């Protein structure tokens, strides 16, 4: 039996997952760590935490299982996207990494639009400039830390720093590269035009590879640190959302991945690059070779339900909170909830957007409010589906759902009815790390392709079909869509 390791370097922990060649997860281990907020809106982390976490997680998962180190056939990498890791010519870290959730670069986003043009930026990269992306972070260092900028020799993403420590090689995957906003998304590589316009030295950027390509092998020093034999192939992998899509089987047209965690993500694979004309959806390369994806991000999805519970029903379990809501009719008797509790990204990139209950009367009970929260989040996720359809995405045949919110049968039914598509759950709960392990297995020939591997390894474990409530939700959704345009001027004044 051969085994494959998936490494997921997230913002709060590094996870190592061990998968056998039948697709069974035989072990998972994690090493937790924190990040720093040295100033308001800033978010930074020492890259050494990811490396130490990788070593600890690998040793931890091997200790949990009876797997011998020499049966590890390949390692796949995934992790947080968009972070900026700067190294000098000796390969040492120049400053703490600036993370995906750092918000300091608003001026640099404006600079990118001024230098390159907003529409040209969208046309080339598939995205408008956003504070979370890597490119404006590079400009921020140039503008604010010139002594650091002058020493840059290598620019890496978080998981690619882990790759460097594992192999000694500088490399990135195409899904992660697209998330820097320095990629020509159609050409699947760095945009020479944009890199030159921003004054970035192209020598700083690593070569890019497809998610299943072997990018190096485990070095002797990394062998000593991890306890695994030197020479194990390390494949390209992908950013966390692309790897999660592989882990849930969203790798073919018509299958959409929906992640219902604190934030909500709608992820659709495509055989061709599709760019939303106004940049309201993220358009990136997929971790699957020669595929692309569209992605919509909702900032407060299951986070809306947690806020609601903690604020209005503290101490009540989620199952007990949701049970009475099942007896409320679809549409919550005319009550709407707007889930913009932390601003919004898709379809309204507006940090000043706010949440609201609209339509409250004395007839409404707490159960009505609970159901309205579930429905409002579902409507917010549908906004991404509607943008994808208008941008040219083919029909959605199936939605593969993951994340803590999908444990609720009621919420799954509401989502299926609001989206008008079958909602399924699958056998994997460790989506991103599992996807990285699948990419590793394909990379060393255990499967002919990623779609073939997913067809064999990812199994549907539950189905929620569309009910007659779909008609009621269609009417309610059209009312929901009017809320943001009506309230947006007030949000500006409140802020």
Phi, psi of 419 (to 5 degrees): -85, -20
Crossing angle (nearest 10°) for helices 431-443 and 450-457: 130
Measured CA to CA, the distance from residue 263 to residue 246 in angstroms comes to: 19
Contacts of 147 (CB under 8 A, 6+ apart): none
My answer on whether omega of the bond before 128 falls inside 30° of 0, hence cis, is no
What residues does 15 pair with on adjacent strands?
Answer: 8, 30
In the set 128, 184, 240, 417, the catalytic residue is 240
Helix (H, G, I), strand (E, B) or coil at 407: helix
Phi, psi of 185 (to 5 degrees): -65, -30
Helix (H, G, I), strand (E, B) or coil at 278: coil
Measured CA to CA, the distance from residue 136 to residue 301 in angstroms comes to: 27
Read off the tokens for 73.
Answer: 């056939």
Phi, psi of 73 (to 5 degrees): -95, -30
For residues 303 and 341, the answer to whether their CB atoms sit within 8 Å is: yes
310 noted as active-site residue: no
- Other C-beta atoms closer than 10 Å to the C-beta of 333 total 15
**Alpha carbon of residue 436 to chain centroid:** 13
For residues 17 and 27, the answer to whether their CB atoms sit within 8 Å is: yes
- Sign of the four-CA dihedral 337, 340, 342, 345: positive
> HSE-up of 395 (CA within 13 Å, CB side)?
4
Nearest to 380 by CA among 351, 342, 335, 418: 418
Q: What are the DSSP E strand ranges found in 181-278?
A: 183-184, 189-190, 208-209, 214-217, 233-235, 238-239, 255-260, 264-270
- Other C-beta atoms closer than 10 Å to the C-beta of 232 total 23
CA distances from residue 346 to 335, 384, 394, 428 in whole angstroms, order as listed: 22, 7, 20, 27
Measured CA to CA, the distance from residue 238 to residue 79 in angstroms comes to: 8
Active site residues: 240
């Amino acid at each position: 039996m051969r085994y494959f390791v998936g490494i997921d370097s997230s913002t709060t922990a590094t996870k190592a997952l061990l998968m056998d060649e039948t697709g069974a997860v035989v072990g998972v281990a994690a090493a937790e760590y924190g990040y720093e907020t040295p100033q308001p809106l800033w978010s930074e982390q020492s890259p050494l935490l990811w490396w130490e976490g990788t070593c600890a997680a690998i040793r931890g998962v091997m200790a949990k299982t009876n797997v011998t180190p020499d049966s590890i056939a390949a390692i796949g990498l995934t992790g947080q996207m968009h972070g900026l890791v700067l190294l000098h010519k000796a390969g040492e870290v120049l400053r703490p990494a600036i993370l995906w959730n750092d918000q300091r670069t608003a001026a640099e986003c404006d600079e990118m639009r001024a230098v390159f043009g907003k529409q040209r930026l969208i046309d080339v990269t598939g995205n408008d400039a956003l504070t979370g992306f890597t490119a404006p972070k590079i400009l921020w260092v140039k503008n604010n830390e010139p002594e650091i900028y002058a020493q840059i020799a290598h620019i890496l993403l978080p998981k690619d720093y882990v790759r460097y420590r594992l192999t000694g090689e500088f490399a990135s995957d195409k899904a992660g590269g697209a998330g820097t906003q320095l990629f020509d998304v159609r050409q699947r590589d760095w945009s020479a035009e944009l890199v030159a316009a921003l004054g970035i030295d192209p020598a700083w950027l690593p070569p890019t590879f497809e998610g299943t390509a072997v990018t190096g092998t485990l070095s002797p020093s990394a062998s000593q640190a991890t306890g695994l034999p030197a020479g194990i192939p390390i494949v390209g992998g992908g950013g966390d959302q692309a790897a999660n899509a592989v882990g849930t089987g969203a790798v073919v047209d018509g299958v959409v991945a929906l992640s219902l965690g604190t934030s909500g993500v709608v992820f659709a694979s495509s055989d061709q690059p599709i760019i939303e004309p106004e940049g309201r959806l993220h358009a990136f390369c997929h971790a699957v070779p020669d595929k692309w994806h569209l992605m919509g991000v909702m900032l407060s999805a299951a986070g809306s339900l947690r806020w609601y519970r903690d604020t209005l029903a503290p101490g009540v379990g989620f199952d007990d909170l949701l049970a009475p809501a099942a007896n409320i009719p679809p549409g919550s008797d005319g009550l709407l909830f707007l889930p913009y509790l932390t601003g919004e990204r898709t379809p309204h990139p507006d940090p000043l957007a706010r949440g609201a209950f609209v339509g409250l009367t004395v007839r409404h009970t707490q159960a009505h409010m609970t159901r309205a929260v579930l429905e409002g989040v579902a409507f917010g996720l549908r906004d991404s589906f509607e943008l994808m359809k208008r941008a040219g995405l083919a029909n959605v045949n199936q939605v593969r759902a993951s994340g803590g919110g999908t444990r609720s049968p009621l919420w799954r039914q509401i989502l299926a009815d609001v989206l008008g598509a079958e909602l399924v759950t699958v056998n994997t709960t460790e989506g991103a790390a599992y996807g990285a392990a699948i990419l590793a297995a394909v990379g060393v020939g255990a499967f002919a392709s990623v779609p073939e591997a997913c067809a064999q390894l990812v199994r549907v474990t539950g189905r929620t079909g569309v009910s007659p409530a779909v008609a009621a939700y269609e009417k309610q959704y059209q009312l929901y869509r009017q809320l943001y345009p009506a309230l947006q001027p007030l949000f500006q004044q409140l802020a």
